[in-house]
Amino acid sequence: MIIKVNQAGYTPVPYTAPVGILETEVIDFDGIDDLVVLSSDLGVDIEENKTITFDCFLETNASSSFYNLFSFKSTNEDDFLVVSFSPGQNLIVIRKDVTFGQGHNYDISSYKDINISCEIIKTSSGITSFKIDSATITPIGNFAVTEPTSSNIGNFPGQSQIANYLSVWNIVISGLHSWGGYGNLNTNWVDSIGSIDGSVCGNPSLRNI
């Protein structure tokens, strides 16, 4: 079921998927040209205190490269959030805001090849919490921060980190935006809370979840 978060707070509100949308299939990003471009490059409000939740599937692979789950850049460009995955290094990297140098590594070796639900809590000065399936994950190191040039899902704009060996869906930014992502059509990436819809690029195949 797609979860819709109300504007006033963080209480989940049931949301019925449109007719014809199966909640059992998501994009299997191919690392070539599959990504979801958001309709407002710099219109994603990621500033100050935000809670971001998402579901994902991260594959086992020997590649030590980094592949992007999503990149959000705020309207006035002074804050951003980037989440990347390196299968060979068993890492998720969360980057936030060049000013504070907040790039953290998290060991996800126990969470690959399964569906997982993640939560990021950020403030104006850093990432205060990262959880997988309600378990708090402690950072194991830092990572150099690079600012994205725009906002999208499946690529790190300006860094050519197109998503591979992963799927990501059900992305929610606390009460402001929600992308279900159950499928590879534009209609599957409509913002059900805000107005920043996604457009699917490439010819992505689907993964059964």
Residue 143 has what pLDDT? 78
Which DSSP string corresponds to 79-135?
-EEEEEEETTTTEEEEEE-GGGTEEEEEE-GGGTTSEEEEEEEEETTEEEEEEETTE
In the prediction, which pLDDT does 10 show? 42
Residue 209 lies in a domain: no
> Does residue 55 form part of some domain?
yes
At 46 the pLDDT is 87
| pLDDT > 80? residue 20 | no
Q: Is residue 170 part of a domain?
A: yes
**Number of structural domains the chain divides into:** 1
Quote the domain boundaries for residue 194: 2-204
More confident residue, 23 or 75: 23
Give domain status of residue 77, yes or no. Answer: yes
Measured CA distances, 150 to 3, 116, 144, 189 (Å) = 26, 26, 18, 17
| Cβ pair 91, 130 in contact under 8 A | no
Q: Which residues contact 113 (CB under 8 A, 6 or more apart)?
A: 57, 58, 59, 60
Q: What pLDDT digit, counting tens, does each position of 45-80 carry?
A: 888 899 999 999 999 998 888 888 998 988 766 788
pLDDT higher than threshold 80 for residue 18: no
Q: Residue 114: pLDDT above 50?
A: yes
Is residue 128 a part of any domain in this protein? Answer: yes
Mean pLDDT estimate for the chain: 83
Is pLDDT larger for residue 143 or for residue 26? Answer: 26
pLDDT in tens, 144-184: 767 787 788 987 655 566 677 899 999 999 889 999 999 99
CATH of the domain at 99: 2.60.120.200
Question: pLDDT tier at 43 (50, 70, 90 boundaries)?
Answer: confident
**Predicted pLDDT at 157:** 59
pLDDT digits (tens, 9 = 90+) for 75-97: 766 788 889 998 999 888 888 87
Mean pLDDT of 110-138: 93
Domain contains 67 = yes
Burial class of residue 112, CB neighbours in 10 A (0-12, 13-18, 19+): middle
Residue 100 lies in a domain: yes
Judge whether 54 lies within some domain.
yes
Q: What is the mean pLDDT of residues 2-16?
A: 41
Unique residue bearing structure tokens 């990504």: 35
d(CA 187, CA 13): 20
119 φ/ψ angles, rounded to the nearest 5 degrees = -140, 130
